[in-house]
Structure 1
Amino acid sequence: MSTARPAIAEVQVRKVNVSGATHEVADVTATEEPLEIRVEGRSVAVVMRTPGHDEELAAGFLVSEGVVQRPRDILEVSQCPSTGNKHGNIVDVLLGGAVVNWDSLTRHVFSASSCGLCGKTSIESVFQQFPAVKGGWQVTPALIASLPDKLRAAQETFSKTGGLHASGLFDLDGNLVVLREDVGRHNALDKILGHALMNGMLPLDRHILLVSGRVSFEIIQKALAGGIGLVAAISAPSSLAVDFAQEAGQTLIGFLRGETMNVYTHPERINLQP
């Protein structure tokens, strides 16, 4: 089990108004700490994340890197002892026979909010690992429009700190299946992928992903690794995210606010009135 620190840290802040009056109050912030991910004792990545669901984060990272696909591909995910490591922020993954391309995997010496890839070459390289998604199902615009309120209502840590991204996985009836929060939007999604792997849910080909912020290339790439066919976001997608979703067969929705939304790719999954 994880021994990570709480997701919320207490701080003292000085409140200042326009007249110059000040007073000190207690407040809370979202915790941000490094997590080192090891595979069979070998360090492959360091991610800045909000503590919590660290085992899912490590497993989801390996899903999005194409290393694992099934629950049996991982024998154990363990939190390493804190000796020589102040907070015990090391997770080690023991594989169950999965073959690792170490040169490719260890390119993520430090993972940030962008993947460091760009252009058509990047899209083609990803498709060598993950096939384009398929699926003839449809959902209504009303169902999609109902998702942001459900996501926000379930964001317990965000409601206290205002400082976290969220990814929510919904079924085709609009029910929230799992939600994860993190200071990194890509970490929140990796935690969902790890949860899905550990619970035998992959591929997520009959699910909808909603993210609280913008959609980058990396978010669409990770969604494809999980087999997700519809990705929606409160904010805008990047140009490369749109290009990637088009090539991958994914429906991409942005600016999902109130009763309106922008559908950038593959509108056939949206049940529109004639």
Structure 2
Amino acid sequence: MPHQPSPHKPGLPRLSQAQVGLTREIEVQDEQGLRRRLHIPCERPLTVFVDKRELITLMTLGVAPELLVLGYLRNQGLIHAAEAIESITVDWEVGAAALRTHAGLSEAWAQKTAKRTLTTGCGQGTVFGDMMAGLEGLALPAPTQARLSKSALYAQLVQMRAQDSVYKQAGSVHGCALFEGERLLVMVEDVGRHNALDTIAGWLWMNHPGRLQAPVLYTTGRMTSEMVLKAAWMGVPIIVSRNGITQMGFDLAQQLGLCLIGRAKGRHFIVYSGFERFDAML
């Protein structure tokens, strides 16, 4: 679970720290007719309001909802600086997140949020405006500055297997984690991999406003164009997935210079793109 910054840092938004149960125990019946109890992950709607204007409803586990909202707006390109936000307050009794900006909404905001694109994200993700707008100005760390060795990859996979996770207890969730080299910075689980990634984006804004050295994103989900694009906007040039890749995710990674490593389980993996960022000899 990501730890939200406390005490409040001047200039950054004030975040409530809403807590909610992540799993629920239910009674089931197995193939032999025997009844037993097990845990399933919770899924709940969170409707996001920006300056009292309803934006979207996210289906989420609720691990760190304030960071999810912050990262979602960042990855959508709707907010360009955390300092523009005064506060984010989550109330689980009504299932709402109220975000307040310092300056109020602009006409450009209204125009951008008028167009939505449904993506392949779990739970049917939504992207506002033009997904590819601004990519020409995106600059990722050079391959000489951001590389991953095989030994570091194996160390990351070992750490992910050791995590005490909702998935181990209840299944049916995706996880994302951010590494700096072999050091695990944060791990988040949610009902959709895009939610987990957005929450990490919010955590980054609150804890590491500058660029990380050699950041690596791990995800249990497939590497689609949405995941590649969000990682790129976060300044992360390497993605490791337990799953596979889509054609558009591959093409976008090639265009942006990302290294995509998939089917990463145990000692096995496939490097799909960005070979210059991976060192198979170390």
TM-score (norm 2): 0.83
* 1:168 to partner: Cα distance: 0.5
CA change 1:199–1:116 in 2 (3 A) is closer
Aligned equivalent of 1:133: 140
Please, which moves more after superposition, 263-272 or 215-224? 263-272
Q: How many aligned residue pairs are there?
A: 260
Determine if contact 1:10/1:26 at 8 Å carries over to the other structure: yes
Structure 1 counterpart of 2:163, which letter?
Answer: A
Aligned residue in 2 for 1:237: 245
User: What one-letter code is carried by the residue in structure 1 that aligns with 2:170?
Assistant: T
1:12 pairs with 12, 27, 31, which one? 27
Which residue pairs with 1:167 in the alignment? 176
1:196-253 per-residue CA deviation (whole Å, 9 max, x = no partner) reads 1112335446310000121111111111121111111011011111111111121111
Matched, 1:183 2:198: no
Which stretches in structure 1 are left out of the alignment for 5+ residues? Answer: none
Could you say what the CA RMSD is over the residues aligned between the two structures, in angstroms? 2.6
AA partner of residue 33 (structure 1): R
Structure 1 distance, partners of 2:78, 2:213, is 19
Which shows bigger deviation, 199-208 or 161-170? Answer: 199-208
Question: 3-state DSSP class of the match of 2:243?
Answer: coil
From 52, 56, 60, the equivalent of 1:45 is 56
Give unpaired runs (5+ residues) of structure 2: 1-15
Identity of aligned residues (%): 22
Within a 5 Å distance, the mapping from 1:214-225 to structure 2 comes to 214-225=222-233
CA gap 1:32/1:126 in 2 versus in 1, 3 angstroms: farther
Q: 1:219 to 1:260 in 2, by over 3 A?
A: same
The answer (yes or no) to whether the contact 1:256–1:262 under 8 Å persists in 2 is yes
Comparing 90-99 and 236-245, the one that deviates more: 90-99
Give 2:112's match in structure 1, choosing from 95, 99, 104.
104
Mapped pair 1:3 → 2:10: no
TM-score normalized by structure 1?
0.85
Contact 2:125 2:194 in 1 (8 A): no
The answer to whether the Cα contact below 8 Å between 2:117 and 2:126 also exists between their aligned partners in 1 is no
Q: 1:153 — aligned with what?
A: 162
Match of residue 64 from structure 1: 75
Q: Please tell me whether the aligned partners of residues 23 and 41 of structure 2 are also in contact (alpha carbons under 8 angstroms).
A: yes
Question: Are residue 227 (structure 1) and residue 235 (structure 2) matched?
Answer: yes
Q: 1:140 and 1:149 mapped to 2: Cα distance?
A: 14
Q: Distance in 2 between matches of 1:250 and 1:132?
A: 11
